[in-house]
Amino acid sequence: MSMRSQALVEHHGVATGKEMSTSDTLKRGLHLSPELSRGIWVTVCLAVLSTLGRVLVPFVVQRITDEGLLASGGPDAAVVAVYIGVALVGVAVTAVSAYFVNVRLFRASENGLSTLRLKAFRHIHDLAMLTQNTERRGSLVSRVTSDVDTISMFVQFGGLMLMINIAQITLATILMVVYSPPLALVVWLCFVPLFIIIRKFQGIVGRAYTKVRERVGDMLGAISEAVVGAQAIRAYGVEDRTAARIDVSVEAHRKAAIGAQARSVVAFTSGQLVSGLTTAVVLVVGTVLAVSGRLTLGELLAFLFLVNLFTMPVQQATEILNEMQNAVAGWRRVIGIIDTPADVSDPADDGVELPRGPITVQFSGVGFSYPGGEPVLHDIDLTIAPRSRVAIVGETGSGKSTLAKLLTRLMDPTSGRVLLDGTDLDTIRFSSLRQRVVLVPQEGFLFDGTLLDNVRFGRPEASQEDVERTLAELGLDAWVATMPLGVMTEVGQRGESLSAGERQLVALARAYLADPDLLVLDEATSAVDPSTEVRLQRALDSLTRGRTSIAIAHRLSTAQAADEVIVVDAGRIVERGPHAELVRLGGVYSRLHDSWVAQQQSV
Amino acid sequence: MNDLPTSTLREGLSVIARGIKGQPRWFSLAVLGSVVYGVMTGMTAWTIGWVVEHEISPAIAAGSVTPQQLWTIGGVMGLVVLVTVIGVIGRRLAGGVAMFNLGAMYRRQVTRQYLRLPLAWHHRHPSGQLLSNANADVEATWNIFAPLPMALGVVVMLAFGIVQMMVIDPWLAVVGLTVFPLLFLANVAFQRAMSPKVTLAQQLRADVSEVAHESFEAALIVKSLGREDHEAERFREVTHALRDANIEVGRTRGRFDPAIEAIPTIGTLAVLFVGTLRVSGGYLTAGQVVQVAYLFSILAFPVRALGWVLAELPRAVVGWKRVSAVLDAEGSMTYGDRNLPRGRSSRLQAEQVAYAYEVESEAGEIDHNPALVDVTLDVAPGATVAVVGPTGSGKSTLTNLMMRLVDPDTGAVLVDGIDLREVRRGGISDVAALVAQQTFMFDDTVRGNVTLGAPHDDEAVWRALNVAQGAGFVDRLPEALDTHVGERGASLSGGQRQRIALARAIIREPQLLILDDATSAVDPSVEQAVLSRLREASTGTTVVVVAYRMATILLADEVVYLEGGRVLDYGTHTELLGRCAGYERLVTAYAREAAERAALASEDDDIGADFDDDYAEPDARRDRVEEVSR
Task: List pLDDT tens digits, range A180-235.
Answer: 888 899 898 988 888 888 778 878 888 888 899 889 888 988 998 888 888 888 88
A281 within some domain: yes
Q: Which domain holds residue A402?
A: 361-449+499-600
Q: Which long-range contacts (CB under 8 A, 24 or more apart) does B77-80 make?
A: B77/A276, B77/A279, B77/A280, B77/A283, B77/B47, B77/B48, B77/B51, B78/A276, B78/A277, B78/A280, B80/A276, B80/B40, B80/B43, B80/B44, B80/B47
Q: Tell me: the pLDDT tens digits for B318-327?
A: 889 989 988 8
Which pLDDT score is estimated for B363?
A: 66
Cα A29 off chain centre by:
14
State the burial class of residue B244 (Cβ atoms within 10 Å of its Cβ: 0-12, 13-18, 19+).
middle
The ipTM is 0.84
Among B454, B439, B44, smallest CA distance to A240 is for B454
For B460, counting Cβ atoms within 10 Å of its Cβ (0-12 exposed, 13-18 middle, 19+ buried), the class is: middle
Domain containing A132 — which CATH number?
Answer: 1.20.1560.10
A45 in a structural domain: yes
The whole-number pLDDT of residue A152 equals 86
Residue B31 sits at the vertex; the CA angle it makes with B30 and B32, to the nearest 5 degrees, is 90
Whether residue A410 is predicted with pLDDT greater than 90 in this model: the reply is no
Q: CB neighbours (10 Å) of residue B310?
A: 26
Minimal Cβ distance to B392: which of A5, A64, A479? A479
A324 lies in some domain: yes
Chain A residues touching B48 at Cβ < 8 A: 279, 283, 304
SS3 call for A568: strand
Residues A315 and A424 in one domain: no
| Rounded CA separation A168/A49 (Å) | 10
Q: What is the pLDDT of residue B310?
A: 76
Its sign, for the CA torsion B341, B343, B344, B346, is positive
**Nearest by CB: B272 against A84, A514, A574:** A84
Q: Tell me whether strands B410-415 and B418-419 are parallel, antiparallel or unpaired.
A: antiparallel
| Interchain contact, B625 vs A588, CB within 8 Å | yes
Residues A383 and A333 in one domain: no
Mean pLDDT of chain B: 82
Identify whether residues A119 and A46 lie together within a single domain: yes
Q: Is A537 in contact with B593 (Cβ distance < 8 A)?
A: yes
Regarding predicted confidence, which is higher, B488 or A479?
A479
Query: What's the pLDDT at B240?
Result: 95
User: Is A345 inside a domain boundary?
Assistant: no
Domains of chain B, residue spans: 5-327, 351-587, 592-629
Residue in chain B nearest A570 by alpha carbon: B628
Same fold, B5-327 and B351-587: no
Q: How many helices (H) and strands (E) does chain B have?
A: 26, 10
Residue B628 has pLDDT above 80, yes or no: no
Tens of pLDDT along B540-550?
788 898 887 77
Q: Which CATH architecture has domain B5-327?
A: Up-down Bundle (1.20)
What's the helix, strand, coil split of chain A in %, to 5? 65, 10, 25
The edge-to-edge listing of strands for the beta sheet with A548-552 is: A437-440, A518-522, A548-552, A389-393, A564-569, A572-577
Q: How many helices (H) and strands (E) does chain A have?
A: 23, 10
Could you give the CA distance from residue A319 to residue B403 in angstroms, rounded to a whole number? 55
Shared-domain flag, residues A178 and A255: yes
A237/B108 CB distance under 8 A: no
Half-sphere exposure of A176 (CA within 13 A, CB side): 23
CB atoms inside a 10 Å sphere around CB B500? 22
A12, pLDDT greater than 70: no
Q: Residue B619's pLDDT band (boundaries 50, 70, 90)? A: very low
| Residues of chain A with C-beta less than 8 angstroms from the C-beta of B242 | 114
What pLDDT score does A4 carry? 36
A146·B221 Cβ contact <8 A: no
> What is the C-alpha to C-alpha distance for residues B616 and A218, in angstroms, rounded to an integer?
56
Contact list in B for residue A50 (CB cut-off 8 A) is: 258
| Within a domain: A481 | no
Average pLDDT, chain A: 84
Output the pLDDT for position B624.
Answer: 37
CA separation for the pair A579, A582 (Å, rounded): 5
Residue of A301, A322, A531 whose CA lies nearest to B561: A531
Q: What is the pLDDT of residue B41?
A: 79
- Of the candidates B108, B122, B289, the beta carbon closest to that of A230 is on B122
pLDDT for B111: 93
Rounded to the nearest angstrom, the minimum Cα separation between A227 and chain B is 6
Of A224, A253, A574, the CB nearest to B628: A574
Neighboring chain A residues of B613 at a CB cutoff of 8 Å: none
Same domain flag for A328 and A405: no
Whether A84 sits inside 8 A of B273 (CB atoms) is: yes
How many CB atoms are closer than 10 A to CB A72? 6
Q: Taking Cα atoms as reference points, which of B470, B337, B336, B347 lies closest to residue B413?
A: B347
Return the percentage of chain B with pLDDT > 70, whole number. Answer: 90
* Local confidence band at B90 (pLDDT 50, 70, 90 cut-offs): very high
Torsion of CA B581, B586, B590, B595, to 10 degrees: 10
The DSSP secondary-structure symbol of A128 reads -
SS3 content of chain B, % helix, strand, coil (to 5): 70, 10, 20
Q: CB distance A225–B443 less than 8 Å?
A: yes
| Separation in Å, CA of A537 to nearest CA in chain B | 10
Chain B residues with beta carbon closer than 8 angstroms to that of A499: 391-392, 395-396, 437
Contacts of B23 in chain A (CB under 8 A): none
Q: Which of A252-256, A283-287, A400-404, B70-74 has the highest mean pLDDT?
A: A252-256
Work out the pLDDT band at B361, boundaries 50, 70, 90. Answer: low
A–B: how many Cβ contacts below 8 A?
A: 573
Distance of CA B337 to the CA centre of its chain: 30
Chain A: residue whose CA lies nearest to B260: A95
The CB-side HSE value for A531 (13 A sphere, CA atoms) comes to: 16
Smallest CA–CA separation between A192 and chain B, in Å? 19
Determine, for residues A602 and B591 on separate chains, whether the beta-carbon distance falls below 8 Å. Answer: yes
Distances (CA, A) of B165 to A8, B168, B170, B261, B297: 69, 5, 7, 21, 14
Alpha carbons B458 and B470: distance in angstroms, whole number: 14
CB A436 within 8 A of CB A354: yes
Residues in chain A, overall count: 603
Report the share of chain A in percent with pLDDT over 90. 10
Q: Is the residue at A414 inside a domain? A: yes
Same domain, A431 and A314: no
User: Residues B164, B241: contact at Cβ < 8 Å?
Assistant: no
Question: Considering A285, A308, A339, which residue would you say is the last residue of a domain?
Answer: A339
CATH number of the domain residue A523 falls in: 3.40.50.300
b/e per residue, A253-283, with b = 16+ CB within 10 A?
bbebbbbbbbbbbbbbbbbbbbbbbbbbbbb
Chain A CA closest to residue B370: A484
Q: Which of B268, B289, B476 sits opposite A69 (nearest CB)?
A: B289
Q: B364 pLDDT band (50/70/90 cuts)?
A: low
Residue A444's nearest CA partner among A512, A360, A349, A355 is A512
pLDDT 10s digits, B540-597: 788 898 887 777 788 888 999 988 889 888 888 888 888 888 888 888 877 777 777 6
Determine whether the interchain pair A98/B257 forms a contact, defined as Cβ–Cβ distance below 8 Å. yes
Residue B400 phi/psi, 5-degree rounding, is: -65, -40
What is the band of B360 on the pLDDT scale with cuts at 50, 70, 90? Answer: low
CB within 8 Å: A91 and B286:
no
Residues A436 and A335 occupy one common structural domain = no
The reply to whether residue A258 touches residue B111, judged by beta carbons under 8 angstroms, is no
Q: How far is A99 from chain B (nearest CA, A)?
A: 4
Residue A255 has pLDDT above 90, yes or no: yes
* pLDDT per residue as tens digits for the range A330-359: 888 899 888 888 888 888 788 888 888 888
Q: Which residues contact A529 (CB under 8 A, 6 or more apart)?
A: A501, B389, B390, B391, B548, B586
Average pLDDT for A377-405: 86
CATH annotation of B351-587: 3.40.50.300
Distance separating alpha carbons of residues A21 and A29, to the nearest angstrom: 12
Based on the structure, what is the number of domains in chain A? 2
| Cβ separation A238–B213 shorter than 8 A | no
Under an 8 A CB cutoff, do A528 and B391 touch? yes
Question: Is A16 a residue whose pLDDT tops 90?
Answer: no
Residue B441 predicted with pLDDT over 90: no
The partner residues of B559 in beta bridges, in order of sequence, read: B386, B571
Output A16 or B588, whichever has higher pLDDT: B588
Would you say A47 and A104 are in contact if contact means Cβ atoms under 8 Å apart? no
Please state which of the ranges B6-20, B142-156, B243-257, B612-626 shows the lowest mean pLDDT. Answer: B612-626
User: What is the pLDDT at residue A344?
Assistant: 81
Is the per-residue pLDDT at A10 higher than 50? no
User: Is the separation of the CB atoms in B213 and B131 below 8 Å?
Assistant: yes
DSSP letter string, A162-206: HHHHHHHHHHHHHHHHHH-HHHHHHHHHHHHHHHHHHHHHHHHHH
Strands A361-369 and A415-420, bridge-based pairing: antiparallel
A138-147, A218-227, A576-585, B5-14 — which is least confidently predicted? B5-14
Kindly determine whether residue B221 and residue A258, on different chains, have CB atoms separated by under 8 Å. Answer: no
User: Which residues from A are below 8 Å from B523, CB to CB?
Assistant: 396, 595
The alpha carbon of residue A341 is apart from the nearest alpha carbon of chain B, in Å, by 16
Top-confidence range, A48-62, A170-184, B236-250, B352-366? B236-250
B/e letters for B209-225, b = 16+ CB within 10 Å, e = fewer, are bbbbbbbbbbbbbbbbb
Cβ burial B159-170 (10 Å sphere, 16+ → b, else e) = ebbbebbeebbe
Nearest-CB residue to A138 (from B131, B390, B396): B131
* Residue numbers in B near A220 (CB within 8 A): 131, 135
Locate the chain B residue with the closest alpha carbon to A404: B224
Question: CA-to-CA distance for A424 and A259, rounded, in angstroms?
Answer: 53
Give the nearest partner residue to A580 out of B134, B438, B601, using CB atoms.
Answer: B601
User: In this model, does residue A585 exceed pLDDT 90?
Assistant: no
Nearest CB neighbour to B227, from listed A279, A458, A497: A458
CA–CA separation, A357 vs B533, rounded Å?
Answer: 53
Option in B65, B289, B592 nearest A291 (CB): B65
Number of residues that this document lists for chain B? 630
Of B533, B481, B474, nearest to B509 by C-alpha is: B533
For range B346-363, the mean pLDDT:
82
Domain-embedded: residue A539: yes
Summarize the confidence of residues A538-553 as an average pLDDT.
Answer: 78
Question: A500 and B438 in contact by Cβ < 8 A?
Answer: yes
Assess whether A333 and A367 both reside in one domain: no
Which CA distances in Å does B470 have to A522, B462, B579? 22, 9, 39
Tally of CA atoms within 13 A in the half-sphere of A218 that contains its CB:
18
pLDDT higher than 80, residue A401: yes
Query: Residue B606's pLDDT is what?
Result: 52
B2 band by pLDDT with thresholds 50, 70 and 90 = very low
Note whether B594 contacts A597, CB cutoff 8 Å.
yes
Q: A43, A284, A497: which to substitute to probe chain B, counting the most B Cβ within 10 Å?
A: A284
Question: What pLDDT score was predicted for residue B537?
Answer: 63
Q: Do A410 and A304 fall into the same domain?
A: no
**Which is higher by pLDDT, B188 or B383?**
B383
| Residue type at position A473 | E
Residue A503: closest CA among A473, A520, A525, A483:
A525
Which residues in chain A are contacts of B69 at CB distance < 8 A?
287
The predicted model gives A278-301 an average pLDDT of 85
Work out the angle at residue B26's Cα, subtended by the Cα atoms of residues B24 and B28, and round it to the nearest 5 degrees: 65
For the residues A72-76, what does the mean pLDDT come to?
A: 73
Q: Please determine, for residue A251, whether its predicted confidence score (pLDDT) is greater than 90.
A: yes
| Non-local CB neighbours of A403 within 8 Å, separated by 6+ positions | A363, A377, A380, A392, A552, A568
Contacts of A165 in chain B (CB under 8 A): none
CB contact under 8 A, A529 and B89: no
What is the mean predicted confidence (pLDDT) over B520-539? Answer: 69
A378 shares its domain with A328:
no
Is B14's pLDDT higher than 50? yes
Q: Which residues contact residue A174 at a Cβ distance below 8 angstroms, ignoring those fewer than 6 apart?
A: none
> Tell me, what's the pLDDT at B622?
37
Give the nearest partner residue to B436 out of A156, A231, A250, using CB atoms: A231
CA distance A163 to A580: 79
Asked whether the beta carbons of B250 and B198 are under 8 A apart, the reply is no
Same domain assignment for residues A335 and A395 = no
Distance CA B602, CA B612 (A): 13
8 A C-beta contact, residue A520 and residue A439: yes
State whether A227 and B591 contact (CB < 8 Å): no
The radius of gyration computed from the CA coordinates of chain B, to the nearest angstrom, equals 37
A331 and A390 in one domain? no
Given the DSSP bridges, would you call strands A518-522 and A548-552 parallel, antiparallel or unpaired?
parallel
Residue A588 lies in a domain: yes
Is the pLDDT assigned to residue B3 strictly greater than 50? no
**B483-523 per-position pLDDT tens digit:** 888 777 777 777 788 888 888 888 888 889 998 887 766 66
Q: Which of B103, B265, B586 has its CB closest to that of A531? A: B586
Which strands sit side by side in the sheet containing B384-388, from one edge to the other? B432-435, B512-516, B542-546, B384-388, B558-563, B566-571
CA dist., res. A100 & res. A49, Å (int): 11
Average pLDDT for residues B237-251, to the nearest whole number? 93
Across the interface, of A114, A233, A450, the residue whose CB is closest to B115 is: A233
